[in-house]
Amino acid sequence: MSLQSARIRTDPNEYAPFLFHPEIGIQLEPREFCEAFVEAVGKEADHVQMTALARTLGLNLDVAYLDGRSADGHVDFVEFRNSDATPLTLLYRPGHYDILLKSGNGRA
């Protein structure tokens, strides 16, 4: 079981209103959602999974979506906030997340 799955299952009232099948839109029970879209191999983490991960680890995350959905090349960021700490920045490309770390020499 993943951290996200454990969080969703132990706090179902927090997540239940957002647990929908992404293709057909029907609402799922936390167990069903976790088994099909959190624990399953080959599934991408969506907003619910990222929220659960950030809350479980107490992280702030900024996710840059590089999925080509913006016609003008603008990069959309989605923020997941849990504290005043500096966020960890992730680049999302369909099927893959990259972590951006700032190096000691001032370059990302």
Looking at residue 76, what is its pLDDT?
A: 84
Please provide residue 61's backbone torsions phi and psi, each rounded to the nearest 5 degrees. Answer: -125, 140
Q: Kindly indicate the confidence band of residue 104, based on its pLDDT and cuts at 50, 70 and 90.
A: low
Does 28 or 22 have the greater pLDDT score? 28
The pLDDT value recorded for residue 103 is 61
What is the Cα–Cα distance from 95 to 49, expressed in whole angstroms? Answer: 14
**Pairing mode of beta strands 88-93, 61-65:** parallel
Q: DSSP H helical segments within the chain, as ranges?
A: 3-10, 12-15, 30-33, 47-57
pLDDT bin (cut points 50, 70, 90) of residue 11 is very high
Ranges 13-27, 31-45, 50-64, 71-85: which has the least confidence: 71-85
Segments making up each domain of the chain, as ranges: 1-57, 59-108
